[in-house]
């Protein structure tokens, strides 16, 4: 990963964990770009903090929450939620107030069913907006996070690649998915991309539910660098929503943690098809798991920003635009004279 991109991603919001996985006494390990973090709920709030105690570098993922504070498992030091201020050192006399000792904490947002954070206090890009998320009549479920040996751009491009459906997803979508990808146009608004495509699944997907397994329109949206989502419109007006996020977990950008969301409206869960949110969650889980060995076995492990280093067809138009737009973002960031992070 080049230095400019590394500095940009340090100032980017990334998901760390599902909100539902953050308990009242447990500590969850997380990572952005090789910086180990912990996520915990204490004192009525979620805190993201450095992953190691400032005293002797103990891994705080092995700690717990006691008296509303994060407790180091080595010497029992207690750190206040939100601020990270050390409030108790058990080896000192009772009542001793530690001065000037803090565990570094990071910005926190709870959005789209996940806890998000940023390694710097001044994010360069706005927090990603998922258009249509949370509309009345929709219900959502959140996928199991998975660590993968691939780059952030690699898996982001994969979500929007319709040409691979008939070859990678025969187990979930069936053997009759339309192969040809129609021409399409991409709308760009600053660092957002949008386009729509029709496809035909051939009637066998989702157990052959006719209204969900044949013709459908997919409207793709992407907010750089990696917030990708798609809204599917079925012939009867029913809708499905899929979102995917990727958090780089090593400094080289060759490993990511994958997060996803599935949503359905009332028409999907009622009427002749009557597919429940749980059934749709399981269906999408299987689709993503079909993708994982693909993205982990591409060379290079991250999509190149040089559009001339790989061959493209008209079906890959989104990838060409995405790579060029990403390079434009990096160039703008570099031109702004952003100093290297300390």
pLDDT of residue 156: 96
Q: Determine the pLDDT at residue 206.
A: 73
Please give the pLDDT value at position 282: 94
What is the CATH code for 3-117? 2.102.10.10
CB atoms within 10 A of CB 224: 22
Q: Annotate the chain with three-state secondary structure.
A: CCHHHHHHHHCCCEEEEEHHHCCCCCEEEEEECCEEEEEEEECCEEEEEECECCCCCCEHHHCEEECCEEECCCCCCEECCCCCEEEECCCCCCCCCCCCCECCEECEEEECCEEEECCCCCCCCCCCCCCCCCCCCEEEEECCCEEECCCHHHHHHHHCCHHHHHHHCHHHHCCCCCCCCCCCCCEEECCEEEEEEEEECCCCHHHHCHHHHCEEEEEEEEECCCEEEEEEECCCCCEEEEEEEEEECCCCCCCEEEEEEEEEEHHHHCCCCCCCHHHHHHHHHHHHHHHHHHHCCCCCCCCCCCCCCCCCCHHHHHHHHHHHHHHHHHHHHHHCCCCCCC
Residue 82: which of 66, 68, 97 has the closest Cα? 68
What is d(CA 186, CA 321) in angstroms, rounded to the nearest whole number? 8
Residue 342 has a pLDDT of 35
Residue-range domain boundaries for the chain: 3-117, 138-330
From first to last of the 342 residues of the chain, give the pLDDT tens digit: 999 999 999 999 999 999 999 988 889 999 999 999 999 998 789 999 999 999 999 999 999 999 999 999 999 999 999 999 999 999 999 888 888 999 999 999 999 999 999 999 999 999 999 999 999 999 999 999 999 999 999 999 999 899 999 999 999 888 888 999 999 999 999 999 999 999 888 877 777 776 677 888 999 999 999 999 999 998 888 899 999 999 999 999 999 999 999 999 998 888 766 789 999 999 999 999 999 999 999 999 999 999 999 999 999 999 999 999 999 999 999 998 765 443
What per-residue confidence (pLDDT) applies to 219? Answer: 95
Tell me which CATH homologous superfamily contains domain 138-330.
Answer: Naphthalene 1,2-dioxygenase Alpha Subunit; Chain A, domain 1 (3.90.380.10)
């Amino acid at each position: 990963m080049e230095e400019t991109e590394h500095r940009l991603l340090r100032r980017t919001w990334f998901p760390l964990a599902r909100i539902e996985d953050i308990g009242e006494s447990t500590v969850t390990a997380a990572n952005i770009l090789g910086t180990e973090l912990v996520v915990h709920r204490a004192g009525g709030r979620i805190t993201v903090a450095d992953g190691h105690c400032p005293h002797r570098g103990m891994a705080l993922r092995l700690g717990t929450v006691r008296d509303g504070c994060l407790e180091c498992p080595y010497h029992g030091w207690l750190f206040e939620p939100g601020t990270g201020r050390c409030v108790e050192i058990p080896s000192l006399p009772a009542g001793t107030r530690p001065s000037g000792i803090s565990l570094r904490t990071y910005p926190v947002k709870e959005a789209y069913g996940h806890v998000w954070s940023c390694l710097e206090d001044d994010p360069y890009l706005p927090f990603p907006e998922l258009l249509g998320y949370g509309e009345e009549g929709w219900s959502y479920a959140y996928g199991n996070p998975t660590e993968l040996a691939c780059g952030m751009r690699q898996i982001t491009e994969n979500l929007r690649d319709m040409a691979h459906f008939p070859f990678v997803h025969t187990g979930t979508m069936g053997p009759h998915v339309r192969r040809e990808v129609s021409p399409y146009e991409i709308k760009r608004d600053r660092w957002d991309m949008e386009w729509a495509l029709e496809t035909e699944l051939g009637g066998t997907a989702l157990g052959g539910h006719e209204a969900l397994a044949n013709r459908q329109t997919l409207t793709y949206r992407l907010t750089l660098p990696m917030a990708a989502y798609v809204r599917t419109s079925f012939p009867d007006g029913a809708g499905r929503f899929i979102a995917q996020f990727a958090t780089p977990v090593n400094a080289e950008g060759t490993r990511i943690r994958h997060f996803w969301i599935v949503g359905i409206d009332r028409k999907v869960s009622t009427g002749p098809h009557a597919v429940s949110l749980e059934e749709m969650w399981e269906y999408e889980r299987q689709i993503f798991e079909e993708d994982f060995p693909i993205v982990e076995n591409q060379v290079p492990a991250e999509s190149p920003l040089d559009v001339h280093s790989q061959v493209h067809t008209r079906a890959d138009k989104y990838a060409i635009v995405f790579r060029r737009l990403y390079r434009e973002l990096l160039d703008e960031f570099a031109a702004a004279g952003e100093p290297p992070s300390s």
